[in-house]
Amino acid sequence: MTDPATPRVPDAVRRRRRRVVCVTASVALQVPLLVTLLSLPHSDSGPEVENSATKDRRLQDVFTAAAAEYGVPPSVLMGVSYQQSRWDSHLGAPSVAGGYGPMHLVDRPHVQGALPGTGGLAGPQSGPGKQNGRGSRSLQPADLQRAARLVGVPVEQLRTDPAANVRGGAALLAAMQRELGKPLSADPSDWWEAVARFPGMGDTVSANTFASDVFTVIRRGARRTTDAGQQITLPASPGVKAPPKDPKRAKDIECPPELSCSWVRAPHVEIGDGEYGNFDPADRPNDQKVEYIVIHDTEGPLPAMLQTVQDPTEVSWHYSVRSSDGHVVQHVKTKDAARHSGSQYVNARSIGIEHEGILAQPDTWYTEQMYQASARLVRYLAKKYDVPLDRQHIFGHDNVPSPMGVTIPDMHDDPGPYWDWEHYFDLLGAPLRGRAGRDSDMVVMLPDYDTHKPLFTGCKASGVPCAPHGSSAVRLHTEPRDDAPLIQDPGRRPEGDASTEDVNDLGSRVSTGQVFAVAGRKGDWTAIWYQGNQAWFKNPRTRPTAIGTTGRMVTPKAGLSEIPVYGRAYPEPDAYPDDVPVSDDAPLPYSLLAGQRYVTQDRVAGTYVDKSGSDSAFRVVKGDDEYYEIQFGHRLAYVRASDVDVVNGSATAGAPSGSRE
């Protein structure tokens, strides 16, 4: 999370701090991970599972049987499990909260304690009767040990056997209902309080939000194939009602009322020689429009990051989202510019959100509660600042354009290939869809996350294959065949080294929701224009990796053989006042060649933020030159409007490609 445009502590010091965070994460994760699933073996098969004549519905039957055994309405049991894990088993790996299996039953000895700097707010591991930072009593968690006692099986079986895990969850729900003095009713509406209690949220706001989400799923219904290849369907029950809840908004915090939020403030103090850390006071959107929301992960446990954000010599970001329960911590007011993206240009017009996680360990860290809370926060912020809900405005740290060519190798790669962008945009209420026929001029990347499992290496050690896992990443080749070399990124690897399959190597891949201009088709392969090259990816008709769509593209004006590409949209030199030095708008080491096309969704005026008076709100220098923001590679980029013509993508005849079906 460095910002090359802002003077910071020496790189060597920062690297040492980064290593401390990563070592802490490694120690925290010395828990049992991969074990054999006893009754519901995981399937690594992809489309074959989906298309087989006989679907695997054993887990569906388990939900039905467990609900009947313990007197819990099936829709309640399935709805709770969906909100806890989306019915996934994660191969027996625990989450960061120590939760196992489809019911996310918490193994108490493995959970973390309350986070420092959050007012004592404890997570789902809080025991009954403990107090949180807002004065409410924490709720009893879905305790793995207690569930094992209730169903009479060893604790290890509830960790590794999804069927036993579901039975344990049903037994816990029934026990909680009885403890509340309520009957084991067949009416789901009677189970609100037990549902709210089940995950053991640290405060009543989060607990009621969880229950509300469960009952929303019950009313709407849900269907998906789990990570173990299980076909699960929860029929819609629109008549089910739940008691209305009206949680109070936290004071002095920019957060939707249904989220549990707290403050850990980043400092703005002088750190020497007129330099101020660790954010830039502003008056957004009055002085600078907020255009982007950047999704990060911490690459370490949140307590270490909370210490970092309180250090005035370090970087900053606006919010952190805790993995265990989705609790949100704000650090910087959204009117001010945090230093989070590695680009002062992006920082000035964005909000940065860190998610507690490690990109190579998605099953442990990328929890459903974190996805849900983050999506609620982003919806709230996007509405407040009129930020479009698309992948050129809501993007990852790994999509931030490098401000200069020399900084490209140092740009970050989180949240990585395992962040589920399709699910995230579903939660945002802006599903990623195509709007054209399969032979259209443009495509939106939309691999099926659960069955799309490209090979990655380096999750545990360099060169060692990662365990097969659903992914949002699509790998690109120089030719339309599997054994063709990967596309090269001359900016990321200026020495000419080849791109690799390493989980942190962005040189030859794109991601779900990104939109590109089509450069060719051959059999089951499609080519896109990518960083000045024709890049190929496998796109079979039976299960497409990308879907046809429409929109606008830019191409060099007639007579121009190539045009420069920039990592920021700066104003022309004449726009700078006499007391502000002109900033260099050096192009990136790429070219946009004649005949190539790149997708654009925004035309922006050139601006530059002057931070020479960083103890007060910054000044924005605005020019007359305009740029188009384009999807140039894995990262965004900019081209001068005067260099390009705008072309509308055509939707060819044929059935709309708004889905994979």
Per the rule left: phi > 0, alpha: psi between -120 and 50, beta: everything else, 602 is beta
- pLDDT score for 141: 62
- pLDDT score for 640: 97
Tokens encoding 261: 């939020």
**Helix, strand, coil percent content, the chain, rounded in steps of 5:** 25, 20, 55
Domains and CATH numbers, the chain: 1-30+249-387 (3.40.80), 47-234 (1.10.530), 431-661 (no CATH)
What's the mean per-residue pLDDT of the chain? 85
Task: Give, in order, the Cα–Cα distances in Å from 121 to each of 124, 201, 283, 331, 465.
Answer: 10, 10, 31, 16, 38
Q: What is the average pLDDT across 112-136?
A: 34
- pLDDT score for 33: 26
| Neighbour-count burial of 272, counting CB atoms closer than 10 A to its CB (0-12 exposed, 13-18 middle, 19+ buried) | exposed
- Which of these ranges, 120-129, 377-386, 422-431, 585-594, has the smallest mean pLDDT? 120-129
- pLDDT score for 647: 96
pLDDT at 342 over 70: yes
- pLDDT score for 535: 98
| Neighbour-count burial of 433, counting CB atoms closer than 10 A to its CB (0-12 exposed, 13-18 middle, 19+ buried) | middle
pLDDT band, residue 275 (cuts 50/70/90): confident
| 451-470 pLDDT tens trace | 999 999 999 999 999 999 99
Contacts 24+ apart (CB under 8 A), 581-586: 583/608, 586/404, 586/405
Q: How far apart are CA 112 and CA 99, in angstroms?
A: 11
Residue with tokens 């360990």: 361
Helix (H) or strand (E) holding 366: none
594: CB partners within 8 A, 6+ apart: 555, 556, 560, 561, 562
Length of the chain: 661
pLDDT at 400 over 60: yes
- pLDDT score for 205: 83
Residue with tokens 């957060």: 255
- Which of these ranges, 44-58, 250-264, 486-500, 645-659, has the smallest mean pLDDT? 44-58
DSSP state string for 51-76 = H-SS---HHHHHHHHHHHHHT--HHH
- pLDDT score for 660: 36
What is the share, in percent, of the chain residues with pLDDT greater than 70? 83
| Neighbour-count burial of 563, counting CB atoms closer than 10 A to its CB (0-12 exposed, 13-18 middle, 19+ buried) | buried
| 560-575 pLDDT tens trace | 999 999 999 999 999 9
* Structural contact between residues 641 and 603, judged by C-beta atoms closer than 8 angstroms: yes
pLDDT band, residue 649 (cuts 50/70/90): confident
pLDDT at 29 over 70: no
Q: What is the average pLDDT across 477-485?
A: 97
Angle at 422 between CA 418 and CA 426, to 5 degrees: 135
More confident residue, 239 or 113: 239
pLDDT band, residue 612 (cuts 50/70/90): low
* Structural contact between residues 499 and 507, judged by C-beta atoms closer than 8 angstroms: yes
Q: How far apart are CA 295 and CA 513, in angstroms?
A: 14
266: CB partners within 8 A, 6+ apart: 278, 279, 309, 310, 316, 331, 332, 338
- pLDDT score for 319: 98
pLDDT at 43 over 60: no
pLDDT band, residue 251 (cuts 50/70/90): low
Q: What is the average pLDDT across 532-536?
A: 97
- pLDDT score for 438: 78
Q: How far apart are CA 523 and CA 537, in angstroms?
A: 11
* Structural contact between residues 334 and 351, judged by C-beta atoms closer than 8 angstroms: yes
pLDDT at 128 over 90: no
- pLDDT score for 584: 83
pLDDT band, residue 241 (cuts 50/70/90): confident
| 184-236 pLDDT tens trace | 999 999 999 999 999 988 778 888 889 999 999 999 999 999 999 999 999 99
- pLDDT score for 273: 80
521: CB partners within 8 A, 6+ apart: 439, 527
Q: How far apart are CA 85 and CA 94, in angstroms?
A: 11
Q: What is the average pLDDT across 393-406?
A: 97
Q: How far apart are CA 329 and CA 321, in angstroms?
A: 6
What is the share, in percent, of the chain residues with pLDDT greater than 90? 73
**CA 534 distance to own-chain centroid:** 28
pLDDT at 32 over 80: no
In one-letter notation, the amino acid at residue 133 is: G
Task: Give, in order, the Cα–Cα distances in Å from 6 to each of 10, 303, 498.
Answer: 12, 25, 31
Strands (E), 256-408: 261-263, 269-272, 275-277, 279-280, 292-297, 319-321, 328-330, 337-338, 350-355, 394-396
* Structural contact between residues 323 and 371, judged by C-beta atoms closer than 8 angstroms: no
- pLDDT score for 494: 83
- pLDDT score for 248: 55
Q: What is the average pLDDT across 644-649?
A: 94
Look up the pTM and report it.
0.84
* Structural contact between residues 283 and 94, judged by C-beta atoms closer than 8 angstroms: no
Pairing label, strands 644-648, 552-556: antiparallel
pLDDT at 19 over 80: no
pLDDT band, residue 39 (cuts 50/70/90): very low
φ, ψ for residue 619 (rounded to 5)? -100, 145
The residue among 347, 345, 337 whose CA lies nearest residue 280 is: 337
| 651-660 pLDDT tens trace | 663 333 333 3
- Which of these ranges, 267-281, 309-323, 626-640, has the smallest mean pLDDT? 267-281
- pLDDT score for 252: 78
- pLDDT score for 505: 96
More confident residue, 650 or 60: 60
pLDDT band, residue 64 (cuts 50/70/90): very high
* DSSP-based three-state secondary structure for 649: coil
pLDDT at 123 over 90: no
Tokens encoding 103: 């019911």
pLDDT band, residue 109 (cuts 50/70/90): low
Tokens encoding 581: 């030095």
